[in-house]
Amino acid sequence: MQTEESQETITPPKKRRRIGWMFGAAWISALSFCALFASRLPFITDYDEKVLVAGRSKSYGVGPSAQAWLGTDKSSFDIFSRCIYGARLTLFVGIGATILGLFLGGTIGLLGGYFRGRVDRLVSIIVDSLLALPPLLLALLIVYRLDDLKLEIWFWSVTRPWEITITLGILAIAPLARITRAQTISLREREFILTARSLGAKNSRIIFRELLPNLIPTMLTVAFTGLGILIAAEGALAFLGLGIERPQTWGRLINIARDDLDRAAWATLFPCLFLLLTVVSFNILGDHIARRFDIREATL
Amino acid sequence: MRYLSQRLLQFSIVFFIVTFGVMVLMRLGLNAPGDPARTMLGGTVSQEMIDQISKQYHLNSNLIVQYWYWLKGIVWSQDFGYSVQQNISVATYMRPKILVTFFLGIYALTWGLIIAVPIAVYQAYKRDSNFDKAGNFFSFFFISVPALVFSPFIIYVFVMKLGWFPRIGEKIYPWDNFGEHFRNFFLPVVVLSLPTAAVFVRLLRADMIATLQSDFITLARAKGVSPQRTLWSHALRNSLFSVLTSVGVQIGSLVGGALVVEQYFNMKGMGFLLISTILSKDLFVVQSLSAILVASVVFANLGIDLLYTVIDPRIRHARALV
Amino acid sequence: MSTEDNSAFLEVVNIKTHFETPRGVVRAVDDVSFSLTRGRSLGIVGESGSGKTILVRSIMGLLPKRGTLREGAVMYRGENLINKTPAEMRGTWGREMAMIFQDPMTSLNPLMKVGKQIAEPLMSHLGMEKATAWATAEKLLHDVHIAEAQRRLSQYPHELSGGMRQRVMIAIALACGPSILFADEPTTALDVTVQAQILELINEQRRQRNMSLLLVTHDLGVVAGNTDEIAVMYGGKLVEKAPTKTLFAEMKMPYTHALLESIPKLNHAAHTRLATISGRPPDLVHPPKGCRFAPRCHFARDRCHSEEPPLTAGKSPDHVYACFYPVGSAEYSERKVEISRS
């Protein structure tokens, strides 16, 4: 009785949470909207249009002004529009990688957790191996090799954006598999699964009808938080020179402006801000969903 | 003991799979004889040179044989291979760079813990206070801040605007000049340690809150034990598990962070080396660096396992029975 | 109130403990009063959710401060404890008042050696050196009849059996020689065979050390032979209180009676249906308007639902009960006949 009562006394500060959630959702929607319709929105400069601010162009760009809201970079490109065009690809790559990771990681985690035994041991080894190498190093190795091999799968030639999507998708496998596996193991012992099994339901039926629906909230949370992490990883890859040439993503913009940080801080700090706000927003959304579905933090 | 040997076996399997995997990955597409040597040497080189290197490192044998010779070299004669491009042994080439990254990693982990533990403990103790709320806000924020964003901001403020620190973090060993070492490493370590601390704070706070609600804490209070003692001696020790477990994963993300931080701060560390050697296809260097990283993750996890058994007698007991 | 007067050793006056929850205010303990003299024992009986555990923790001041509202007075040796801060209470906890918890598995620190857990209060309250404290701890383990005390000291709780863990807990409680022992369901988590031993141990130590005992349980059978007085709680209120013998001889509350009926008895024929109390304990956020037991009481009448019965004195000395139509009253018998007929 005592514990029950003391738990009941926890009153969550709801208002602050809602503000955070609304902010995250607003930022993501605004960014996605701009990115989707970048070429049609009047206030976004075309990707290749050079912007002269007050008729000037300097070797390191010009600061924020009415013509270029966030200033220009050293080639006189509008940083705001570059950031938006960058968002286009970043979001595409991030979402693609998350879907790939969810599919692959979710599948092996589910199989390992459901069948246990030998399958599980195999899954554990795969997951442990993927986790043993620092993720960014793994990404570097894979992108670089994919790039080198110039894969042609049937009529689909794997271009840089796809390479990065695949790479980040592979990075997402291990953590997602681990979470799915843990969840599956705990679900598997619950009454409704045991009932289904004792009624002689087939494995496939149990997995698709009983397990999968119950895994969705967790997966959704992890997907959002993971999206933030993958976007940050994409930024890091681009920064380290293994990014996408065109359109340039935020990481690459940061890299280009690096040497001008003292003279043209805007060229570095605004792409940074875009990256930061996006990652934070996805984390907030993930957190929000986790609270909605009451998922304990420890499982993440 | 049996438990530990089991874990050791498991970790060795992982080590072999990953190092072999890296080797295979690096050599995909280099199928013709002489290819690996040619790739490693880069540019135009004579056929004799290629033949000689291929022979010396068994580069024309199959992958398993190559792997065997590479591993044997490391284990038997601490020979990590040869960087043909730099014309020095990989070990000599790597050592100073590894030290830089090693310092970064160790400082970041240590500071992460030093910052996190008191904050998390106090947050859990004063739950829902303003301190707790601020702690939650900052830990959430710093978990989300990528090193790529943090580095420019911190350089902009502390180097450009305030001029407190040098922009370029040259490697100066603590035993040479500690003051300079500190100045050079301070900002990069801040960038790496705050997100680490944030992760630790969140895990530890959650565990501490759960622990503080358990009966044995009420008993400790009912015994008249002081709150400080209850917190630090009873509750903290019972709440360390998630944090310890996460250290293994944190090493991985620290290395990732270090890759970016080293670039931004121009520190010639392991990350610097990794990127340049991956790009220049210096096979042996990439292989050996990956092996060292994998080994450190594996050993850290083993160490954590050992630590568990020190902290929790129940695990010691249960494992003795296994 | 005189300090060493035995009649008022611990006096609880109109104590109320309320919790603020999102659902509303939970009146976990509502206006409970009783007193305890030195060396005597009182059993508090009630279902789970009747507020008995909260009452004990309230008296000791062990509840979390946040969201908790405490009113009334807890007079201990002439001093009111109710407004004391945890820091001020620390000298009382363990030294004057000690507590035995329900589940010895979760109440002992799993990562600390048994010896250290016993030695801790000795060192902080009595200022003992470590060696002396451990020697005393060993002696305490002897007192609670643990064999091989020396060896047990350096063991961890998980290496002991349930009964032994509870003995350790008693040793911890006894360590600093408290004058009141609160035992919160001390036998509930134990095997039946061990339960009697533990109760006997508690009583033996109480007599030897001239301690007062407050024994909280849901089991009327546990208090029957072990306490001088019995108080019955329902829905956060004290509903009947009497010396043990009086209570069993002349119980007045239908609730007490129902509790007694729900204990299986040896003289029942095999397969006799066990009497249960139907319904659920009252919601303490919105307690029933009149008597809190009325919704579940077979003998309740209109008055019971609208008016709260006050504590009335029974025929025997020290017997109080809160019921309009107590066992034995005309209305009670009348209804009883109706029930048996249907």
Residue of C274, C192, C216, C162 whose CA lies nearest to C41: C216
- What pLDDT shows up at residue B113? 94
* Chain-chain contact of B221 with C158 (C-beta, under 8 angstroms): no
B294 and B177 in one domain? yes
Residues on chain A touching B128 (C-beta within 8 angstroms): 10, 13
Distance of CA A35 to the CA centre of its chain: 16
Distance CA A128, CA C160 (A): 37
Distance CA B216, CA A78 (A): 62
Question: B114 pLDDT exceeds 50?
Answer: yes
Closest CB to C66 among A1, A2, A9: A9
Tell me the CATH number of domain C3-87+219-264+281-341, given options 2.60.40.10, 1.10.150.120, 3.50.50.60, 3.40.50.300: 3.40.50.300
Decide if A89 is inside a domain.
yes
Write the CATH number for A188. Answer: 1.10.3720.10
* Chain-chain contact of A8 with C21 (C-beta, under 8 angstroms): yes
Decide if A40 is inside a domain.
no
Residue of B313, B297, B201, B318 whose CA lies nearest to B252: B297
Residue B32 — pLDDT band, cuts 50, 70, 90?
low
* Identity of residue C179: S
* Chain-chain contact of B25 with A142 (C-beta, under 8 angstroms): yes
Residue of A138, A147, A213 whose CA lies nearest to A174: A138
Question: B88 pLDDT exceeds 50?
Answer: yes
Return the structure tokens found at A178: 């681990």
Distance CA A144, CA A142 (A): 5
B164 and B150 in one domain? yes
* Average model confidence (pLDDT) across chain B: 84
Closest chain C residue by Cα to residue B213: C64
Range in B95-109, B165-179, B305-319 the model is least confident about = B165-179
pLDDT tens-digit readout, B130-165: 999 999 999 999 998 998 899 889 888 888 888 888
Count the domains in chain A. 1
Residue-range definition of the domain harbouring residue A106: 75-299
- What pLDDT shows up at residue C286? 87
Last residue of a domain, one of B27, B62, B91: B91
Count the domains in chain B. 2
Residues on chain C touching B219 (C-beta within 8 angstroms): 99, 101, 107-109, 169, 172
Decide if A115 is inside a domain.
yes
Decide if A59 is inside a domain.
no
Residue-range definition of the domain harbouring residue B175: 92-321
Residue C189 neighbours by CB distance under 10 Å: 18
* Identity of residue A162: W
For residues A169 and A96, the answer to whether their CB atoms sit within 8 Å is: yes
B165 and B141 in one domain? yes
B290 and B154 in one domain? yes
B282 and B143 in one domain? yes
- What pLDDT shows up at residue A154? 66
Does residue C78 belong to the interface with chain B, where contact is any CB pair within 8 Å?
Answer: no
* Chain-chain contact of A131 with B293 (C-beta, under 8 angstroms): no
- Better-predicted residue by pLDDT, A97 or A201: A97
B191 and B100 in one domain? yes
Does residue A289 belong to the interface with chain B, where contact is any CB pair within 8 Å?
Answer: no
The ranges assigned to domains in chain C are: 3-87+219-264+281-341
Convert C163-226 into a string of H (helix), E (strand) and C (coil).
HHHHHHHHHHHHCCCCCEEEEECCCCCCCHHHHHHHHHHHHHHHHHHCCEEEEEECCHHHHHCC
Residues on chain C touching B238 (C-beta within 8 angstroms): 109-111
Return the structure tokens found at B15: 């080590």
- What pLDDT shows up at residue B179? 80
CA distances from B314 to A232, B205, C191 (A): 40, 23, 23
Reported ipTM: the value is 0.84
Q: What is the pLDDT along chain C (342 residues), one digit of tens a residue?
A: 344 445 568 899 999 999 888 888 888 898 899 988 888 899 999 888 788 889 999 999 888 877 888 889 999 888 888 888 888 888 889 889 999 998 888 899 999 999 999 999 999 899 899 999 999 999 999 999 999 999 999 999 999 988 899 999 999 999 998 999 999 988 888 888 888 899 999 999 999 999 999 999 988 888 888 899 999 999 889 999 999 999 988 888 999 988 888 777 767 666 666 677 777 888 888 888 889 998 888 888 888 898 889 888 888 888 999 999 988 888 888 888 888 887
Residues on chain B touching C60 (C-beta within 8 angstroms): 222
* Chain-chain contact of C60 with B225 (C-beta, under 8 angstroms): no
Does residue C98 belong to the interface with chain B, where contact is any CB pair within 8 Å?
Answer: yes
Residues forming a β-bridge with B83: B88
B107 and B178 in one domain? yes
Residue of C300, C281, C275, C276 whose CA lies nearest to C237: C281
Give residue for tokens 């396992």: B305
What backbone torsions phi and psi does residue A253 show, to the nearest 5 degrees?
-60, -40
Does residue A9 belong to the interface with chain C, where contact is any CB pair within 8 Å?
Answer: yes
Residue B80 — pLDDT band, cuts 50, 70, 90?
confident
Q: At what angle do helices A14-36 and A79-115 cross, to 10 degrees?
A: 110
Give A 8-47 residues with CB within 8 A of chain B. 10, 13, 16
* Chain-chain contact of B144 with A279 (C-beta, under 8 angstroms): yes
Residue B216 is inside which H or E element, if any? helix B215-222
Instruction: Give C128 to chain A, closest Cα distance, Å.
Output: 34
Residues on chain C touching A9 (C-beta within 8 angstroms): 19-21, 64, 66-68
- What pLDDT shows up at residue A278? 92
Distance of CA B82 to the CA centre of its chain: 25
* Chain-chain contact of B223 with C158 (C-beta, under 8 angstroms): no
Q: Which of the other chains make 3 or more beta carbon contacts under 8 angstroms with chain A?
A: B, C
B138 and B223 in one domain? yes
> What secondary structure letter does DSSP report for B13?
H
Closest chain B residue by Cα to residue A227: B144
- Helix, strand, coil share (%) of chain B residues, nearest 5: 80, 0, 20
Last residue of a domain, one of B91, B124, B145: B91
Cα R_g (chain A), whole angstroms: 23
pLDDT tens-digit readout, C201-258: 999 999 999 999 999 998 888 888 889 999 999 988 999 999 999 998 888 899 998 8
pLDDT tens-digit readout, A40-95: 777 777 777 776 666 666 666 777 776 777 777 777 678 788 888 888 889 989 99
pLDDT tens-digit readout, B271-322: 888 888 888 888 888 888 888 889 888 888 888 888 888 888 877 665 544 3
Decide if A122 is inside a domain.
yes
Chain A, chain B: beta-carbon pairs less than 8 Å apart = 142
* Chain-chain contact of C28 with A5 (C-beta, under 8 angstroms): yes
Residues on chain A touching C27 (C-beta within 8 angstroms): none
* Average model confidence (pLDDT) across chain A: 80
* Chain-chain contact of B223 with C98 (C-beta, under 8 angstroms): yes
* Chain-chain contact of A125 with B213 (C-beta, under 8 angstroms): no
Closest CB to C21 among A1, A2, A9: A9
Question: B12 pLDDT exceeds 70?
Answer: yes
Return the structure tokens found at B119: 């904050």
Does residue A1 belong to the interface with chain C, where contact is any CB pair within 8 Å?
Answer: yes
- What pLDDT shows up at residue B318? 59
B107 and B20 in one domain? no
Closest chain B residue by Cα to residue C91: B224
* Identity of residue B293: L
B128 and B141 in one domain? yes
For residues C255 and C69, the answer to whether their CB atoms sit within 8 Å is: no
* Chain-chain contact of C26 with A1 (C-beta, under 8 angstroms): no
- What pLDDT shows up at residue B1? 62
Instruction: Give B58 to chain A, closest Cα distance, Å.
Output: 22
Which of A136, A274, A284, A299 to substitute to test the interface with B, most B CBs within 10 Å? A136
Closest CB to C93 among B127, B128, B222: B222
Distance of CA B246 to the CA centre of its chain: 12
- What pLDDT shows up at residue B115? 95
Question: A8 pLDDT exceeds 60?
Answer: no
> What secondary structure letter does DSSP report for B238?
G
* Helix and strand element counts for chain B (H, E): 14, 2
* Chain-chain contact of C66 with B128 (C-beta, under 8 angstroms): yes
Does residue A13 belong to the interface with chain C, where contact is any CB pair within 8 Å?
Answer: no
- What pLDDT shows up at residue A2? 37
* Chain-chain contact of B224 with C90 (C-beta, under 8 angstroms): yes
Residue A16 — pLDDT band, cuts 50, 70, 90?
low
Query: pTM (2 decimals)?
Result: 0.86
Give C 34-73 residues with CB within 8 A of chain B. 57, 60, 62, 66
Last residue of a domain, one of B72, B91, B110: B91
Instruction: Give B272 to chain A, closest Cα distance, Å.
Output: 10
Residues forming a β-bridge with C35: C11
pLDDT tens-digit readout, B200-215: 999 999 999 999 988 8
